[in-house]
Structure formats: structure tokens, C-alpha cells
Amino acid sequence: MLIGRSSTRYQSSGFTLIEVLVSMVVFALLMILVSLAFQQSALLWKRQQGTFSENLSLQKIAFQVVDAIEQAIPYKKAQMIESGFGQITKNKLFFSGQSRSLKIYSANGVFYDEPVLLTISCEESPNGSMALLITEQTEFSGKEKSKIWLTELEQCQFDYFAEPVDFRPEEQRFVPLPKQWFSEFHGKQFGYFPEVVRLNYRRFSDDVNQPNNQLVVALPVNFRLRFSLLEDDLGL
């Protein structure tokens, strides 16, 4: 009796060298993509943290600027004036408001906790943009400090809201005129403070469909007195 031998064929269940190499390449590419994504996320997080911190710093300065303008004092600047009795010293209310700058005396500054001469000005940069500069000079200690508040501005302008008056000598009284916005406002000319100071500005990065940024400050009512007009016209 012949017993036939049946040959059993074994199939290999392992991976070939090429499959292993392809898998390693794919895994390496995935690791590179994950690493790049993580780096981008980290950079974005740092950038956002920096922007957030910068916004907080700018907002803090904005609050300090508002507080300093609200504490504007009716500083009367001495001037020598010729009269029939020779030279006499006459005081004037100091408030210099122009379209690109504001200069006032404040009881408490942005940088110094003492009376200062505060100047906020829109300065042109070499690249064609504008920057908002804050400068303070202390009245007693003689210190001075300047700091750039906002940069890369496309627009920067001050406006002043006030009620102009017309003095009538024959009636010895002031006649109020309709309130309006002025592009310039000087204490020497008007003899009193404006009711509101408004700063309009726009960054190059701002959305064109959004209105300009505004910083609006109302001055105290008791400082809107007509010192110079009373002195000049009534002889006080």
C-alpha cells in the first residue's frame, strides 16, 4: 500500500522590508506635521498673549489720559502787557487745543502724581503713519517724560465741544451762542475751557467698515469759567 505525502505550503504572515520602510516614512511625515502644527499653535498663542498684554497696557494708559484731562486746572499763565501805567502782569487761562495736539495743565499727570504740563500730540513717523505721543513736564520737581501711546495711525485729530459766547459791552453781559465742535480751542481766545475734548483716531489695521476710534472726555463744569473774558471786558 502506497501512502502519498501531501506537501503543506506555508504562507508568510510578516511584513516585507518595503512595507516597513513605507510605514516608517509615513509615520515620520505625520510626526513632522504634528510638530509643525504644535509650533504654529504655540506661536499663535504667544502672539495673542502679546496682543492681549499690549491691549491691556494701552487701555491702562487710556484711563490715565482720561483721568489727567479730567483733572485739568485753570492755570493762569502770567503775561507782560503794555498799559498806560507801564508794563503790568496779567494772567491768562491756559488751554491750548489744536487739531493735532492738546496742551493743558493737569493736577495729576499720566506718569507723575503731581501737577504737570501735559501734551498729547499726533506725530508723523518716517513711514508715513502717525503716532500719538504723551509728554509731561512737572511743575515743581522739573522732571520730564515722553512715551509713545499709539502707533501705526492712519488718522489722528482732536476736536473741542463748547458754547461760544458773544460779549455785549453796552449791556455788560454775555450772550451764549449755539454749541458746536471746534478744530482748535485756546483759553487765551475763548477765556474758558471747552465742555468736551474728543480724540478721533484710526489704525491702518482697523476694519474700513468700522467707524473711527474715539476717546471722549468731559471737563468739570466748575473749570469752564470765563476767567479771561471777565478780566478783559469787565476790567476785573
- Per-residue pLDDT tens for 120-153? 999 998 888 999 999 999 978 889 999 998 888 9
Give the model confidence (pLDDT) of 45-65 as tens digits: 666 554 445 566 778 888 889
pTM, two decimal places: 0.66
Tens-place pLDDT, residues 164-222: 877 777 777 778 788 899 999 987 777 778 889 999 998 888 888 888 888 899 887 65
Q: Is there a contact between 95 and 81 (Cβ–Cβ < 8 Å)?
A: no
